[in-house]
Protein backbone atom coordinates (compact mmCIF):
# COMPACT_ATOMS: atom_id res chain seq x y z
CA UNK A 1 0.00 0.00 0.00
CA UNK A 2 1.27 3.48 -0.88
CA UNK A 3 2.66 5.46 2.05
CA UNK A 4 0.88 8.80 2.21
CA UNK A 5 2.91 11.87 3.12
CA UNK A 6 1.79 14.12 5.95
CA UNK A 7 1.26 17.87 6.05
CA UNK A 8 4.70 18.49 7.57
CA UNK A 9 6.32 16.55 4.74
CA UNK A 10 4.54 18.55 2.02
CA UNK A 11 4.81 22.05 0.58
CA UNK A 12 2.02 24.61 0.90
CA UNK A 13 0.79 24.12 -2.70
CA UNK A 14 0.77 20.37 -2.17
CA UNK A 15 -1.38 20.69 0.96
CA UNK A 16 -3.83 22.90 -0.93
CA UNK A 17 -4.05 20.33 -3.71
CA UNK A 18 -4.67 17.52 -1.20
CA UNK A 19 -7.49 19.42 0.49
CA UNK A 20 -9.07 20.41 -2.80
CA UNK A 21 -9.57 16.76 -3.73
CA UNK A 22 -11.92 15.78 -0.91
CA UNK A 23 -11.95 18.61 1.68
CA UNK A 24 -10.79 15.81 3.98
CA UNK A 25 -8.26 16.06 6.80
CA UNK A 26 -7.18 13.04 8.87
CA UNK A 27 -5.65 13.57 12.32
CA UNK A 28 -3.92 10.63 14.06
CA UNK A 29 -4.34 10.76 17.84
CA UNK A 30 -2.47 8.75 20.46
CA UNK A 31 -0.48 9.32 23.63
CA UNK A 32 3.00 9.21 25.12
CA UNK A 33 3.00 6.62 27.88
CA UNK A 34 4.82 3.49 28.95
CA UNK A 35 4.12 0.18 27.21
CA UNK A 36 6.48 -2.10 29.09
CA UNK A 37 10.15 -2.58 28.29
CA UNK A 38 9.57 -3.85 24.76
CA UNK A 39 7.66 -0.95 23.20
CA UNK A 40 8.42 2.77 22.86
CA UNK A 41 6.68 5.53 24.79
CA UNK A 42 5.08 6.71 21.56
CA UNK A 43 3.39 3.40 20.78
CA UNK A 44 -0.15 4.78 20.69
CA UNK A 45 0.75 7.69 18.44
CA UNK A 46 2.90 5.53 16.16
CA UNK A 47 -0.01 3.09 15.87
CA UNK A 48 -2.48 5.85 15.02
CA UNK A 49 -0.06 7.37 12.52
CA UNK A 50 0.60 4.01 10.87
CA UNK A 51 -3.10 3.37 10.35
CA UNK A 52 -3.78 6.98 9.34
CA UNK A 53 -1.14 6.95 6.60
CA UNK A 54 -2.78 3.95 5.02
CA UNK A 55 -6.27 5.37 5.47
CA UNK A 56 -5.15 8.56 3.74
CA UNK A 57 -3.80 6.56 0.81
CA UNK A 58 -7.17 4.86 0.47
CA UNK A 59 -9.39 7.93 0.91
CA UNK A 60 -7.31 10.85 -0.34
CA UNK A 61 -7.24 14.13 1.53
CA UNK A 62 -4.59 15.47 3.86
CA UNK A 63 -2.82 13.60 6.64
CA UNK A 64 -2.30 16.15 9.41
CA UNK A 65 0.46 15.62 11.94
CA UNK A 66 -1.09 16.02 15.38
CA UNK A 67 0.49 16.30 18.81
CA UNK A 68 1.75 12.92 20.06
CA UNK A 69 0.51 13.58 23.59
CA UNK A 70 -2.81 12.47 25.00
CA UNK A 71 -4.92 12.29 28.15
CA UNK A 72 -3.25 9.58 30.24
CA UNK A 73 -3.03 10.38 33.96
CA UNK A 74 -3.25 6.69 34.89
CA UNK A 75 0.25 6.04 33.46
CA UNK A 76 2.00 8.87 35.32
CA UNK A 77 3.49 6.39 37.78
CA UNK A 78 5.94 5.37 35.03
CA UNK A 79 8.77 7.73 34.02
CA UNK A 80 8.47 9.40 30.65
CA UNK A 81 4.68 9.50 30.49
CA UNK A 82 3.37 12.88 29.32
CA UNK A 83 -0.18 13.71 30.36
CA UNK A 84 -2.37 16.46 28.95
CA UNK A 85 -5.38 17.81 30.76
CA UNK A 86 -8.54 17.17 28.77
CA UNK A 87 -9.07 20.92 28.55
CA UNK A 88 -5.64 21.35 26.97
CA UNK A 89 -6.24 18.67 24.38
CA UNK A 90 -9.64 20.10 23.47
CA UNK A 91 -8.08 23.55 23.03
CA UNK A 92 -5.40 22.13 20.72
CA UNK A 93 -8.09 20.38 18.68
CA UNK A 94 -9.97 23.64 18.29
CA UNK A 95 -6.90 25.56 17.14
CA UNK A 96 -5.74 22.88 14.70
CA UNK A 97 -9.18 22.22 13.27
CA UNK A 98 -9.89 25.95 13.09
CA UNK A 99 -6.76 26.38 10.98
CA UNK A 100 -7.70 23.47 8.73
CA UNK A 101 -11.22 24.85 8.34
CA UNK A 102 -9.73 28.21 7.33
CA UNK A 103 -7.83 26.42 4.56
CA UNK A 104 -10.88 24.62 3.25
CA UNK A 105 -11.19 21.39 5.22
CA UNK A 106 -14.82 20.55 5.92
CA UNK A 107 -14.55 16.80 6.48
CA UNK A 108 -12.38 15.87 9.45
CA UNK A 109 -11.44 12.46 10.80
CA UNK A 110 -10.09 12.02 14.33
CA UNK A 111 -8.30 8.67 14.10
CA UNK A 112 -7.58 7.56 17.64
CA UNK A 113 -5.56 4.78 19.30
CA UNK A 114 -5.86 5.55 23.02
CA UNK A 115 -8.94 4.94 25.13
CA UNK A 116 -8.57 7.71 27.68
CA UNK A 117 -8.63 10.27 24.86
CA UNK A 118 -12.26 9.40 24.19
CA UNK A 119 -14.03 12.03 26.37
CA UNK A 120 -11.82 14.88 25.10
CA UNK A 121 -12.09 13.70 21.49
CA UNK A 122 -15.89 13.61 21.63
CA UNK A 123 -16.16 17.07 23.20
CA UNK A 124 -13.72 18.50 20.67
CA UNK A 125 -15.61 16.94 17.74
CA UNK A 126 -18.87 18.44 18.92
CA UNK A 127 -17.35 21.89 19.38
CA UNK A 128 -15.65 21.84 15.98
CA UNK A 129 -18.94 21.02 14.30
CA UNK A 130 -20.79 23.70 16.25
CA UNK A 131 -18.22 26.45 15.80
CA UNK A 132 -16.77 25.79 12.31
CA UNK A 133 -19.43 26.36 9.67
CA UNK A 134 -20.01 23.35 7.46
CA UNK A 135 -17.56 21.13 9.35
CA UNK A 136 -18.32 17.45 9.91
CA UNK A 137 -16.21 15.25 12.17
CA UNK A 138 -15.98 11.48 12.14
CA UNK A 139 -14.30 9.72 15.08
CA UNK A 140 -12.53 6.48 14.22
CA UNK A 141 -11.25 4.38 17.11
CA UNK A 142 -8.78 2.27 15.17
CA UNK A 143 -7.82 0.20 18.21
CA UNK A 144 -11.41 -1.01 18.54
CA UNK A 145 -11.55 -1.91 14.84
CA UNK A 146 -8.38 -3.97 15.33
CA UNK A 147 -9.80 -5.57 18.48
CA UNK A 148 -13.11 -6.54 16.86
CA UNK A 149 -11.60 -7.86 13.64
CA UNK A 150 -8.25 -9.32 14.69
CA UNK A 151 -8.32 -9.68 18.46
CA UNK A 152 -10.44 -12.81 18.84
CA UNK A 153 -7.47 -14.75 20.23
CA UNK A 154 -5.08 -12.19 21.71
CA UNK A 155 -7.53 -9.41 22.58
CA UNK A 156 -6.73 -5.72 22.88
CA UNK A 157 -4.29 -5.61 25.78
CA UNK A 158 -1.92 -2.88 26.84
CA UNK A 159 1.44 -3.70 25.28
CA UNK A 160 0.20 -6.95 23.77
CA UNK A 161 0.23 -8.21 20.19
CA UNK A 162 -2.26 -5.76 18.70
CA UNK A 163 -0.14 -2.85 19.95
CA UNK A 164 3.12 -4.38 18.80
CA UNK A 165 2.01 -4.92 15.20
CA UNK A 166 1.35 -1.31 14.07
CA UNK A 167 4.68 -0.20 15.52
CA UNK A 168 6.41 -3.01 13.65
CA UNK A 169 4.74 -1.83 10.45
CA UNK A 170 6.62 1.48 10.22
CA UNK A 171 9.00 1.64 13.22
CA UNK A 172 10.38 -1.90 13.62
CA UNK A 173 13.66 -0.66 15.06
CA UNK A 174 11.79 0.54 18.17
CA UNK A 175 10.36 -2.86 19.09
CA UNK A 176 12.35 -5.09 21.49
CA UNK A 177 10.44 -8.33 21.79
CA UNK A 178 13.37 -9.89 23.63
CA UNK A 179 12.47 -7.61 26.55
CA UNK A 180 8.81 -8.66 26.70
CA UNK A 181 9.57 -10.99 29.60
CA UNK A 182 7.52 -9.50 32.46
CA UNK A 183 3.81 -9.50 31.57
CA UNK A 184 1.43 -8.97 34.45
CA UNK A 185 -1.08 -11.73 35.25
CA UNK A 186 -3.47 -11.97 32.34
CA UNK A 187 -6.55 -12.88 34.36
CA UNK A 188 -6.49 -9.78 36.55
CA UNK A 189 -5.67 -7.47 33.66
CA UNK A 190 -8.43 -8.89 31.47
CA UNK A 191 -10.98 -8.60 34.29
CA UNK A 192 -10.07 -4.96 34.86
CA UNK A 193 -10.28 -4.19 31.14
CA UNK A 194 -13.69 -5.83 30.89
CA UNK A 195 -14.97 -3.72 33.76
CA UNK A 196 -13.62 -0.39 32.52
CA UNK A 197 -14.86 -1.07 28.97
CA UNK A 198 -18.37 -2.04 30.02
CA UNK A 199 -20.67 0.56 28.41
CA UNK A 200 -23.23 0.29 31.21
CA UNK A 201 -21.28 0.19 34.47
CA UNK A 202 -17.60 1.07 34.50
CA UNK A 203 -14.89 2.87 36.45
CA UNK A 204 -12.08 5.28 35.60
CA UNK A 205 -8.71 3.76 36.53
CA UNK A 206 -6.50 6.05 38.59
CA UNK A 207 -3.22 4.12 38.35
CA UNK A 208 -2.52 1.52 35.69
CA UNK A 209 -0.36 -0.42 38.15
CA UNK A 210 -3.51 -1.56 39.96
CA UNK A 211 -4.53 -3.21 36.69
CA UNK A 212 -1.16 -4.57 35.57
CA UNK A 213 1.77 -3.92 37.88
CA UNK A 214 4.51 -4.24 35.26
CA UNK A 215 2.66 -1.78 33.02
CA UNK A 216 1.52 -4.31 30.44
CA UNK A 217 -0.06 -7.70 29.94
CA UNK A 218 -1.18 -9.95 27.13
CA UNK A 219 0.05 -12.41 24.56
CA UNK A 220 2.49 -11.74 21.73
CA UNK A 221 2.21 -14.76 19.48
CA UNK A 222 2.50 -13.81 15.83
CA UNK A 223 4.60 -10.84 14.73
CA UNK A 224 5.40 -12.14 11.26
CA UNK A 225 5.33 -9.72 8.29
CA UNK A 226 2.16 -11.40 7.11
CA UNK A 227 0.41 -10.82 10.41
CA UNK A 228 1.62 -7.21 10.54
CA UNK A 229 0.22 -6.54 7.07
CA UNK A 230 -3.02 -8.36 7.79
CA UNK A 231 -3.81 -6.34 10.91
CA UNK A 232 -2.48 -2.92 9.94
CA UNK A 233 -3.70 -2.86 6.35
CA UNK A 234 -6.92 -4.64 7.26
CA UNK A 235 -7.72 -2.15 10.02
CA UNK A 236 -6.93 0.74 7.69
CA UNK A 237 -9.11 -0.76 4.98
CA UNK A 238 -12.12 -1.09 7.27
CA UNK A 239 -11.65 2.45 8.57
CA UNK A 240 -11.29 3.82 5.04
CA UNK A 241 -14.52 2.18 3.88
CA UNK A 242 -16.45 3.65 6.81
CA UNK A 243 -14.95 7.09 6.16
CA UNK A 244 -15.75 7.03 2.44
CA UNK A 245 -19.30 5.92 3.15
CA UNK A 246 -19.92 8.66 5.72
CA UNK A 247 -18.48 11.50 3.66
CA UNK A 248 -19.67 10.01 0.36
CA UNK A 249 -16.20 10.12 -1.13
Please tell me the predicted confidence (pLDDT) of residue 3. 76
- CATH no. of 7-244: 3.40.50.10310
Report whether 240 contacts 249 (CB < 8 A): no
> Strand, helix or coil at 211?
coil
| CA 74 – CA 115 distance, rounded (Å) | 11
* pLDDT band for position 146 (cuts 50, 70, 90): very high
Taking each helix axis as running N to C, give the angle between helix 225-247 and helix 161-170, from 0 to 180 degrees, rounded to the nearest 10.
90
Structural domain boundaries of the chain?
7-244
Q: Considering the chain, what is the average pLDDT of its residues?
A: 97
pLDDT value, residue 1: 67
The answer to whether 243 and 249 have CB atoms below 8 angstroms apart is yes
pLDDT in tens, 213-247: 999 999 999 999 999 999 999 999 999 999 999 99
CA distance 212 to 209: 5
Query: Which value, in Å, is the radius of gyration of the alpha carbons in the chain?
Result: 18
What would the pLDDT profile of 49-104 be if each residue is shown by its tens digit? 999 999 999 999 999 999 999 999 999 999 999 999 999 999 999 999 999 999 99
Amino acid sequence: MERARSLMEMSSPETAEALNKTNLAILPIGSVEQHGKHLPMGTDYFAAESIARRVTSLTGGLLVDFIPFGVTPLHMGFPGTINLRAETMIAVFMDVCGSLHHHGARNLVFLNWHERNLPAVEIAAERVQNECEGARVLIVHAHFIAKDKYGQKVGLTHGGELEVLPVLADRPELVRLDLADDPSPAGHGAAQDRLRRDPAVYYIPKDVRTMYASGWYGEIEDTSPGRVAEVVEGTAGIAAERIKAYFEI
